[in-house]
Amino acid sequence: MSRKGREQIDSTRKKTRILILGGGFAGVFAAKALLKQARRNKDLNIEIELVSERNYFVFQPLLPEVAAGTINAQDAVTPLRLLLKGVKVRMGEVRHIDFAQRRVQLAQGSKRIPQHRAYDHLVLALGQRTILEKFPGFAEHSFCLRDLAHAHALRNHVLQCLEHADVTENPALKQSLLTFVVAGAGFSGVEIAGELHEMLERALPMYPSIQTHEIRTLLIQRGHQILPELPEQLGHYAAQKLRARGVEVLYGTSLARATAEAVYTQDGQRINTRCLITTIGNGPTQVVEQLGLTLERGRLVTTPSMQIPDHPRVWALGDAAYIPMGESCAPTTAQFAVAEAKVLAANLLEQIRTGNCAGAFAYTPRGAMASIGDYRAVADLSGVRVSGLAAWLMWRAFYIGMLPGFSTRLRVALNWFFDYFLPRSIVQVKTTSDSAARVVHYAAGDVLFAPGQVVDGFYSIIHGQLESRVPDDRAEHDHFVRILGPGDHWGERSLVEGTQTVGWLTALEDCEVLVLKRNDFARLRQGVPQLRAYLDHLPEKKYPPALRHTPGEQAET
């Protein structure tokens, strides 16, 4: 069919295409509100398509409970296609928006062939992403909780720490494995600390060598109140409850950096831990950054009616939008995103009907709630403060009310009910592979390898200096010492020969080291002949002697 022919059919249909980018609270509730309001106006002939990188909606406030195993992963998410009947759902990644031609370029499928989707109205609901560049080591050594995959990764890591702590005979290692640090004490940080601590305590009966007092959960807050969004009194109540259960709340503290073995506070304190969870560092997604539109605090500036200035067919809401509200702007919470969605839908449909819209966004929040674990929550409902089990039940009821269909609600409610009676599962579901190439940070003095360890990856120094120190067999108190710097690498032989270390490898200053896992290194060596040629002709001295083979005995750890 010629392009002209297609356009004629389109014009007889008079369908107005609304394209929503993003499948979080903002995108999903905008689609729902548009559907609902359009049904009341039969003369409107609209078609809604929503693009999301995931095929499901994740109820982010429940992710701490998924990580803690309180609820099943599938009870915190709903397939977009089930939630949005009547909306075309497309899984894809937004690559580019062409405002002049009114179309969006997407990449979809495993071959990532670009697609163009045309729109009459475009709704930007792209959310934010975690940006941790200001905190060295955080990107590599911290967990965040934006998505279901993050909750799984955190859960597996915490269980790995417990499994290892239960069998190690090294007290310092055990202490480090049992120290859990949560950075930031907003809603998310408080819920994570509370749920994590409850999970640890409930798991302990399964780990006979770990005592309750050996577990440390630290909640680190820069300011002097936790839950700063809530009235001070509720923040104090939450802090008091958390402390009574054993969570250490550190006020006036902020973290500077993280390594594979510790976190460091701004004032130089070192806390040994293998598990840092961060709830800080929000910034614009890459797509939002590249649009060339005005940003304020990393968010898209809109008119009070949620349009992008000079782009009357482009709208924005949710965490990605900077919507003026009096002297300030709308806060980035799920509750506001839902409220914004209703106003945006009304404005957009009004604009389609009349060509005009004037509805400025205004909203008075009904309240706020935070779960703090152990069946306790705090809530502030239009000034009425509720705490404890009552608040927790309200919090859960709110979510249940959002789910589609009676049977789904019943199943989720029953699963929650059973959690009360059942031992918490400690099943550690490892994914088939974690990231293959990762960057590991070390601080001066950290020991990367001691004698008798297995080198099971390829290591290459990105920056910093390390010292390799190996006992000299010929003289009792002598050591061979070599300094390693950027570009030095090791592990390529021990991967083949299955060797163990005979000396120490110690960071002399703060270092970054690239680590490539055994299998991936083997594939890469096989697949890139230039790399293989280089590695096969390395002189013997390239190998740090600390990592050479020994058939001898190793100390138990």
Which residues, 301 to 320, sit near its own copies by CB under 8 A? Answer: none
The residue within the footprint of its own copies, chosen from 11, 12, 432, 541 (CB under 8 A), is 432
Residue 130 as a binder of its own copies (CB under 8 A): the answer is no
Sole window of 6-14, 216-224, 371-379, 508-516 interacting with its own copies (rule: CB under 8 A): 508-516
Compute the least distance from the CB of residue 397 to its own copies, in Å.
Answer: 20
How far apart, in whole angstroms, are the C-alpha atoms of residue 441 and residue 135? Answer: 12
Nearer to its own copies by C-beta: 205 or 309?
205
User: Which x/- pattern over 521-540 shows residues binding its own copies (rule: CB under 8 A)?
Assistant: --xx-xxxxxx--x------
β 466-471/479-484 pair status: antiparallel
The residue within the footprint of its own copies, chosen from 72, 175, 254, 499 (CB under 8 A), is 72
Closest residue by Cα to residue 420 from 154, 71, 73: 71
**Bridge partners of residue 220, in order along the sequence:** 183, 250
Nearer to its own copies by C-beta: 40 or 85?
85
How far apart, in whole angstroms, are the C-alpha atoms of residue 413 and residue 406? Answer: 11
The single-letter code of the amino acid at 374 is D
Compute the least distance from the CB of residue 530 to its own copies, in Å.
Answer: 6
Nearer to its own copies by C-beta: 72 or 265?
72
The residue within the footprint of its own copies, chosen from 225, 254, 282, 408 (CB under 8 A), is 408
Number of chain positions touching its own copies (CB under 8 A): 94
Q: How many CB atoms lie within 10 A of CB 411?
A: 15
Compute the least distance from the CB of residue 462 to its own copies, in Å.
Answer: 5
Residue 23 as a binder of its own copies (CB under 8 A): the answer is no
User: Which x/- pattern over 446-485 shows residues binding its own copies (rule: CB under 8 A)?
Assistant: ----x-xxx-x---x-x-----------------------
The residue within the footprint of its own copies, chosen from 20, 30, 59, 78 (CB under 8 A), is 78
- Tell me if 315 sits within 8 A of 121, measured CB to CB: yes
Compute the least distance from the CB of residue 121 to its own copies, in Å.
Answer: 20
Sole window of 52-60, 216-224, 313-321, 502-510 interacting with its own copies (rule: CB under 8 A): 52-60
Compute the least distance from the CB of residue 290 to its own copies, in Å.
Answer: 10
Nearer to its own copies by C-beta: 108 or 254?
108
Structure tokens that stand for 467 in this block: 């010292």
Residue 82 as a binder of its own copies (CB under 8 A): the answer is yes
Q: Which H/E stretch holds residue 255?
A: strand 255-258
Residue 74 as a binder of its own copies (CB under 8 A): the answer is yes
User: Which x/- pattern over 252-281 shows residues binding its own copies (rule: CB under 8 A)?
Assistant: ----------------------x-------
Nearer to its own copies by C-beta: 237 or 459?
459
Residues in 317-376 at the binding interface with its own copies, rule: CB under 8 A: none
Residue 5 as a binder of its own copies (CB under 8 A): the answer is no
Distance of CA 160 to the CA centre of its chain: 19
Sole window of 232-240, 294-302, 361-369, 411-419 interacting with its own copies (rule: CB under 8 A): 411-419
Structure tokens that stand for 131 in this block: 């940006």
Nearer to its own copies by C-beta: 152 or 313?
152
The 8-class DSSP code of residue 395 comes to H
Residue 436 as a binder of its own copies (CB under 8 A): the answer is yes
Compute the least distance from the CB of residue 524 to its own copies, in Å.
Answer: 5
Residues in 151-210 at the binding interface with its own copies, rule: CB under 8 A: 152-153, 159-160, 163-164, 167-168, 173, 206-207
The label of the residue with tokens 């919507």 reads: 323
Planar angle of CA 49, 50, 55, nearest 5 degrees: 130
How far apart, in whole angstroms, are the C-alpha atoms of residue 230 and residue 248? Answer: 20
Residue 542 as a binder of its own copies (CB under 8 A): the answer is no
Burial class (CB in 10 A: 0-12, 13-18, 19+), 555: exposed
Closest residue by Cα to residue 33 from 353, 350, 341, 398: 341
- Edge-to-edge strand ranges of the sheet holding 262-265: 255-258, 262-265, 270-272
In this structure, the dihedral spanned by the alpha carbons of residues 147, 152, 157 and 163, taken in order and rounded to 10 degrees, is 160
Structure tokens that stand for 466 in this block: 């390390």
Closest residue by Cα to residue 247 from 274, 268, 220: 220
Nearer to its own copies by C-beta: 254 or 408?
408
The 8-class DSSP code of residue 219 comes to E
The residue within the footprint of its own copies, chosen from 16, 108, 130, 265 (CB under 8 A), is 108
Residue 2 as a binder of its own copies (CB under 8 A): the answer is no
Q: How many CB atoms lie within 10 A of CB 6?
A: 10
Residue 37 as a binder of its own copies (CB under 8 A): the answer is no
Residue 54 as a binder of its own copies (CB under 8 A): the answer is yes
The residue within the footprint of its own copies, chosen from 35, 37, 47, 81 (CB under 8 A), is 81
Planar angle of CA 198, 203, 207, nearest 5 degrees: 140
The residue within the footprint of its own copies, chosen from 48, 77, 126, 502 (CB under 8 A), is 77
257: helix, coil or strand?
strand
Residue 56 as a binder of its own copies (CB under 8 A): the answer is yes
The single-letter code of the amino acid at 382 is S
Residue by residue, DSSP assigns 324-346 as: EETTEE----HHHHHHHHHHHHH
The label of the residue with tokens 């999903």 reads: 28
Sole window of 14-22, 125-133, 232-240, 423-431 interacting with its own copies (rule: CB under 8 A): 423-431
Task: Give me the numbers of helices (H) and strands (E) for the chain, helices first please.
Answer: 16, 36
The residue within the footprint of its own copies, chosen from 61, 92, 137, 503 (CB under 8 A), is 92
The single-letter code of the amino acid at 193 is A
- Tell me if 446 sits within 8 A of 504, measured CB to CB: no
